[in-house]
Amino acid sequence: MITFIQKKRDLLLEITSNLLIVEIILIILHYLTSFVVSIWIDVHLLMVATVACGFAWFFIYIQKDEEHFREITQPHMKGLFLFCLLLVVLSGLSFDLIQQNHFLKSIESSISSVQPYLIVFLIGAGFLMLHFKKESIPAKAGLTEEIMEMPAKGKAKGVGKLIYMLTGRENLWYNAFLLVILTLFFITRLYDTDFINGTDNYNVLGIKNMYENGMSVYRYSPITDFLMLKIVTSFGFDFFTIKIPFILYSFITLIFIYLSSGLINRNLALVSSFLYVISPWAIIHARITRDYSFDLMVGSIALYLCFVIYRKISETESPKKILLYLLFFSFVPLSLVFVYHNIRSQTIVVGIYVLFTALYILNHLLNKIVAGGTFSGMRAMTVLRANIRSVNLVYWVAVYSALLSALFLIEKFPFVFGFKDLDFIYFDFFFNPLTDSPWQWFYGVDIKSLFFYGMFLLGLFSFDSSEVPRKYLLILFSSFVFGLVLYGLKYETHLEYIPVRYLYFLFLPYIIIFANSVLNLIKLFSSRPERTVLIITLVLLINPTALLYSVNPVLAYQNEKISNVQVDNIGIGRFNLLQVVEYLEEMGINEDNVLVLDGRYAEFILYLDRPMDNGRKLVRRSSDGTLYYDISRKTYVQSTYFGYSELNEAVDANKKGIYVSSDKVILSENGQEEMKLSSRDFQLYDVHFRHINTINGFQIYSWDTS
């Protein structure tokens, strides 16, 4: 790229300078004359393009004497970069002090109005600083620029080496930070677990039924069900014990995030692990009794194995060893296929990591064959060897053409045949901090997505001179983008909303690349004051409220009436039910009373701790077939959302009972409206229903025909 720019410098300078002049003229016409530019071009986009074009012109111009310009501009560029970064971050925050002060609020509004231009300046300045930094690092510098150095090998052996690794001067701060990460992990995952899933508690009811009666009609995931049952059998059934498998999955994920990112950079292992530990999204999923954390765990293990085998193949010259490593590599996708058929079908999507690792392995072997002595007598091979870059270009064009064709031809639920319009909600979930319930570190910060895209792309660069870590980053990036495109173009939800929780497996490459961008930013600044300002600014992006509420969801309900701390519609809590539960208990409702519940029946059963019924099951018919769910004794379900209509059956079989519902209407089995619900008595099925109370949107009725 740089060589091309140097060769075509004069032509590129002419193009960019002419574009820059035209853009500046248009801006002047728009602001200083009556000529209305905004009719045919977006003015904000024009301003962004002008700043970007200016940086492009400057970058091309300095190629003539880059060393001279680096010495002149780099010190000033750092200061401007930090200043603009601080302005961007502060313009996106909302403090009471700013909102209540008219002067401060006007300043904040002024900065916010030019935020897009500041972000473009940041991206351009960051690119130039990164380029200058990479050019100034000697070819054999390796990881010498890291904040904390690896101790020299051979200083000690055996137990002495282990002790040195734990207590040596070079490792003391590293290990201290690692201990902080582990401590934070256990605090954030184990603190106050006395709550349930906000929805989808069917597998918990199944385990409860197995625990009480030794049977269940609901099957979720063989490994998870086995672990949950073993744990509750050993320690009893409560809201903590049912979460232990998912906390365990989360801990194993932490280990393999550390190991995988550690293959790229030792410090990257720390930063990646830290971001994972303090991510509200990861904290919530570790406490949801659904297998999204299992997917991420399997993905992290598969990625680590792929990275290790890829490194072994890259470092060996022996054909026999390469064949052996390829054999080991084949066990990774085979294991995923086994998981797909026998444990959990959703987990197969983590095969994206295996797919792109395999493509890079093939590319490496192709380069080895072309560059080596194999088939050296063939004239065609000599030609290929002289045009190795063209060979790689053809290879990747062919690969991505094949991937695009395969992507188009996929037709297996939930992926549709062909392409639909690209749904950017999947991209927004990772990069737009104002998207509903993303629960990322920067949730609620009013900063344009462009800033976070720029931050993410910064993570693709590496100061390590080794080729393998760079390929690791490309594998991560390719997997992440392909996963987003797969869901954006192909996914067809079976619900009325988009369940972005299925993208949780992509949190693995996302977190490592983002962590590398943080490290790259830190490495751009050499002085302690500069790094201190940078770190403080980045910390300001982290939303402490999101982190606090994910750790202690009860506070979310107490402070802001957030009943379900959720990702899309699944989350933790459903605390608005607790007042209803307390009221029912005060009424003396127990396991001997008949209850008719709405779609939140599973949550009510768990909070009321009603014993399970091993002789009855809920039957639900849908496009996926007939589904069976566990239910508690003397409990019926009347739900508009889920299509259950058991109220009639309940009043026919029982002379008295309690009906609790948040539905607006009562529907019959064929979907016909039978009664609108309100805070009044009503007559239905020749039975009088007396309204008792309304609590948090739930209407409570009773009937008594005795």
Question: Percent of the chain, pLDDT > 90?
Answer: 48
pLDDT digits (tens, 9 = 90+) for 238-247: 999 999 999 9
What confidence tier does 434 reach under pLDDT thresholds 50, 70, 90? Answer: confident
How high is the pLDDT of residue 618?
Answer: 92
Q: How far is CA 198 from CA 123, 201, 440, 562, 600, in A?
A: 40, 8, 19, 11, 9
- Whether the per-residue pLDDT at 688 is higher than 50: the answer is yes
Mean pLDDT of the chain, nearest integer: 85
What confidence tier does 198 reach under pLDDT thresholds 50, 70, 90? Answer: confident
pLDDT digits (tens, 9 = 90+) for 10-48: 788 888 888 888 888 887 877 776 666 666 677 767 777
- Whether the per-residue pLDDT at 270 is higher than 90: the answer is yes
Mean local confidence (pLDDT), 454-465 = 81
How high is the pLDDT of residue 383?
Answer: 53
Residue 226 is inside which H or E element, if any? helix 222-235
Q: Are 576 and 697 in contact (CB under 8 A)?
A: yes
How high is the pLDDT of residue 414?
Answer: 84
Mean local confidence (pLDDT), 613-642 = 88
How high is the pLDDT of residue 144?
Answer: 34
Cα(472)–Cα(461) distance, integer angstroms = 11
How high is the pLDDT of residue 133?
Answer: 72
- Which runs of consecutive H residues, i.e. helices, occur in 66-101? 66-92, 96-100
Q: Are 689 and 702 in contact (CB under 8 A)?
A: yes
Position with higher pLDDT, 168 vs 265:
265
How high is the pLDDT of residue 577?
Answer: 93
Mean local confidence (pLDDT), 458-476 = 84
What confidence tier does 166 reach under pLDDT thresholds 50, 70, 90? Answer: low
pLDDT digits (tens, 9 = 90+) for 87-112: 888 888 766 666 677 777 788 788 88
- Whether the per-residue pLDDT at 495 is higher than 50: the answer is yes
Minimum mean pLDDT among 337-346, 365-374, 377-386, 649-658: which range? Answer: 377-386
- Which runs of consecutive H residues, i.e. helices, occur in 114-201? 115-136, 158-167, 169-190
Enter the DSSP assignment of 422. Answer: -
How high is the pLDDT of residue 25?
Answer: 84
What confidence tier does 134 reach under pLDDT thresholds 50, 70, 90? Answer: low
CA angle at 355 for the pair 313 and 284, rounded to the nearest 5°: 110
Minimum mean pLDDT among 126-130, 186-190, 326-330: which range? Answer: 126-130
Q: How far is CA 361 from CA 311, 368, 391, 454, in A?
A: 9, 10, 15, 29
Look at residue 393 and give its three-state secondary structure: helix
How high is the pLDDT of residue 378?
Answer: 53
Mean local confidence (pLDDT), 603-617 = 94
How high is the pLDDT of residue 148?
Answer: 42
What confidence tier does 275 reach under pLDDT thresholds 50, 70, 90? Answer: very high
How high is the pLDDT of residue 147?
Answer: 41
How high is the pLDDT of residue 276?
Answer: 96
Q: How many residues does the chain have?
A: 706
Mean local confidence (pLDDT), 423-443 = 84
Position with higher pLDDT, 406 vs 373:
406
What confidence tier does 610 reach under pLDDT thresholds 50, 70, 90? Answer: very high
How high is the pLDDT of residue 95?
Answer: 66
How high is the pLDDT of residue 375?
Answer: 44
How high is the pLDDT of residue 142?
Answer: 38
How high is the pLDDT of residue 1?
Answer: 53
Mean local confidence (pLDDT), 434-454 = 83
Mean local confidence (pLDDT), 295-318 = 94
- Whether the per-residue pLDDT at 437 is higher than 60: the answer is yes
The tokens for 599 are 């779609």
Position with higher pLDDT, 86 vs 166:
86
Q: How far is CA 348 from CA 130, 132, 167, 354, 401, in A?
A: 37, 42, 42, 10, 22
Cα(511)–Cα(505) distance, integer angstroms = 11
Find which of 252-261, 419-428, 457-466, 571-580 is predicted with most confidence, using mean pLDDT. Answer: 252-261
- Whether the per-residue pLDDT at 385 is higher than 70: the answer is no
How high is the pLDDT of residue 228?
Answer: 95
pLDDT digits (tens, 9 = 90+) for 56-87: 887 787 777 667 677 777 777 788 888 889 88
Which amino acid would we find at residue 411?
A: E
List the strands of the sheet with 564-567, edge to edge: 196-197, 570-573, 564-567
Cα(66)–Cα(2) distance, integer angstroms = 11
Position with higher pLDDT, 71 vs 579:
579
